Structure 1
Amino acid sequence: MTIAVVIPCYRVTRHILGVIAAIGPEVQRIYVVDDLCPDQSGALVRAECADPRVTVLEHKENQGVGGAVMTGYAAAIADGAEVIVKVDGDGQMDSNLIPRFVAPILEGEADYTKGNRFYDLEQIGSMPPLRLIGNAVLSLMTKLSSGYWDLFDPTNGFTAIHADAARRLPFARISRRYFFETDMLFRLNTLRAVVVDVPMDAVYGDEVSNLKISRIVTEFAAKHVRNFFKRLFYNYYLRNMSLASIELPLGVAMVLFGSIYGISHWLYSMRHDMVTPAGTVMVAALPLIMGTQLILAFLAYDIASVPRRPIHTKTLFRKHNA
């Protein structure tokens, strides 16, 4: 199978040549995407890199990492690549791990693989504390919005995807900036694609991150909420309906009723220095208890519904029989 590597480039001139040189012979094509880099990464690669596998693509406008990766995906698919690996150009990712990322896809076990720097507890100590806490919070939010409850480290950009899965993605709708990796998971879930974590070590050198946490906190939170409700609508009401489709709204309604009813009567009793009747307490408590149980039942169903059957295996089967 033809394996291609996509490398989005923005201010990575110190590392890009070393990243390309480290890519092994298992890769047949390399796409370097210059996202209007102020340091002209594309021009540097053209001038200094003699690797015949390399194709340099240049954006006339900066589109963000998501836009650069989509450009690389489109070029790789057009050239017949069957597995596409995305590697950052800043040297953080060990290119020797590419076979490990590709293997689950080639074996028909996954449509998309992504790195997980949290797998080895002994290695986590090398990760800056702010990134460690931030990734833990983002992972929880991503589980809710994407539906992939068994994944961690959502912002990890070391990924691989089968071309059949990539071909089905709505390239024009995927987030172009730093929300790209997380939005990819949401889009893949709507396709019922199988996503697998690949353990890897956390490596931090002298690279400079362009990500400013203070700028993206509100943006990420809003997009997570948007994707969460879109996923619920797609999976539980538009494409299919199940008992879980009833459990969630009914549970939320009961919790809201119990909370509002209980708080309002508690405040009334406080203002009038009265003892709240037992019946009033039960009317508030029972909906809270039952609503919480219904929400937990929905979460159990949602967790059990993580996609398990790769969507590209059918395509491979058809090709084999043809």
Structure 2
Amino acid sequence: MKLIVQIPCYNEEHTLPATFNDIPKTIEGIDSVEIMIIDDGSKDQTIEVAKKLGVDHIIVNKNNRGLARTFRKGIDECLKRGADIIVNTDGDNQYAGWDIPKLIQPILDGSADVVVGDRKTAQINHFSPFKKFLQRLGSFVVRQLSGVDVPDAVSGFRAYSRDAALQLNIVSPFSYTIEALIQAGKKHMAVTSVPVETNEKTRESRLFTSIPKFIERQLTTIVRMYTMYQPLKVFFFISLILTTLGLIPIIRFMYFYFTGDGGGHIQSLIIGGTLTVLGFITFLIALLADLINFNRHLVEQTLEKVRRMELEMQSQKRDKD
């Protein structure tokens, strides 16, 4: 049983040593613990520091690609190296690495595919009240949309079984944490959470620099992911709203028409007819989007099978070598 701890890094030369040293090198039930950093185009000495620390695998992006793309690349690289369990943590030493045994235990027990570390954000002193509120609100929305009961939906401290990692297809350029949970819920993975500790803040968050921008990106990700997996519901709801709004002026026109004053209210008929037609067109879009959704399921199944075949071939090649 091999565990690989992946650490996406961008200019983490000062915090990487503490992050590395917090990770236990032996864990009960795990034969091998390996550490991988994915350097996202750092401009400092992050790579040199990782080499001095003895990091097992160093993956390098030639330029800065963002956290979501770096996370996705890390997952692929961990799978290529035969990881049975993948843990993702941050390079800023926010998460307590010594909680990794607790984090992976539900996977070892066979009761979960994905485990999310619950930071208990209400108890974190350096989180502002507004940030705590946004964390609670965001987690509530994600729980409702994904069907996954996780109290800290944006926590990046997570463990994935090999099977769960093979099914992940991260397409968002920003919030992979939300996308991964929505995917896990819609693919009926077993998801749970465990309480974890956090360390003192080492630097300002690079994702939470602007509250309006942060909210915009999170909302965009949520809407995009939910629409991707539930297009019929989304477009049918829009169609229902447009049709209802269209029927109101039509009924108003009909009332005045039958009471002998229809000529002065023709604009109500025009507006109502336009909205009703738009509602019907949106309903047709809902049907088309639902068909595309089924096709996406087939594509994802094919992609998963191809990935399994590629990894199996790589494993056989390593055994021969």
Q: TM-score, normalised by structure 2?
A: 0.68
Could you say which residue in structure 2 is the equivalent of 1:208?
204
Secondary structure of 2:58 counterpart: strand
Residue 132 of structure 1 aligns with which residue?
A: 132
Counterpart in the other structure of 1:34: 39
Question: How many equivalent residue pairs?
Answer: 247
Q: Is 1:23 the counterpart of 2:23 in the alignment?
A: yes
| Closer/same/farther in 2, CA of residues 174 and 254 from structure 1, 3 Å limit | closer
CA-to-partner distance for each residue in 1:194-246, whole Å, 9 max, x for gaps? 1111112344423221122332322322221222222224xxx6xxxxxxx8x
Question: CA offset at residue 254 of structure 1?
Answer: 8.6
The answer to whether the 8 Å contact 2:148/2:181 transfers is no
Cα contact 2:5–2:36 (8 A) shared by 1: yes
Letter in 1 for 2:163: D
List gaps (5 residues or longer) in structure 2: 256-307, 309-321
Structure number with the bigger relative contact order (C-alpha 8 A, sep ≥ 6) is 1
Letter in 2 for 1:132: K
Alignment check: 8 A CA contact 2:40 2:60 kept: yes
Q: 1:251 to 1:49 in 2, by over 3 A?
A: closer
Q: What pairs with 1:18-97 in structure 2 (closer than 5 Å)?
A: 18-24=18-24, 25-26=26-27, 28-46=33-51, 48-50=52-54, 54-97=56-99
The answer to whether 1:107 aligns with 2:123 is: no
Structure 2 Cα separation of the partners of residues 15 and 128 of structure 1: 22
Q: Which runs of 4+ in 1 moved over 4 A?
A: 248-252, 258-262
Q: Does 1:166 align with 2:165?
A: yes
Question: Is 1:227 aligned to 2:231, yes or no?
Answer: no
Seen in structure 2, the aligned counterparts of structure 1 residues 229 and 28 have a Cα distance that, compared at 3 Å, is same
1:260 positional shift: 7.2
Kindly tell me: are residues 257 and 36 of structure 1, through their superposed partners in 2, closer, same or farther at Cα, counting changes over 3 Å? Answer: same
Q: Secondary structure at the match of 1:28?
A: strand
Alignment match, 1:302:
none
Kept in 1, the 8 Å contact 2:178–2:221? The answer is no
Give the TM-score taking structure 1 as reference length.
0.67
Q: Secondary structure at 2:230's aligned position in 1?
A: helix
Unaligned runs of 5+ in 1: 238-244, 269-314, 316-322
Call closer, same or farther: CA 1:254–1:219 in 2, change over 3 Å.
closer
Q: Say whether the 8 Å CA contact 1:144–1:228 is kept in structure 2.
A: no
Whether the aligned pair in 2 keeps the contact of 1:8 and 1:33 (CA below 8 Å) is yes
- Quick one: percent identity of the two aligned structures? 24
Structure 1 residues 20 and 61: CA distance shift in structure 2, 3 A: same
Aligned counterparts of 2:203 and 2:88: Cα–Cα separation in 1? 18
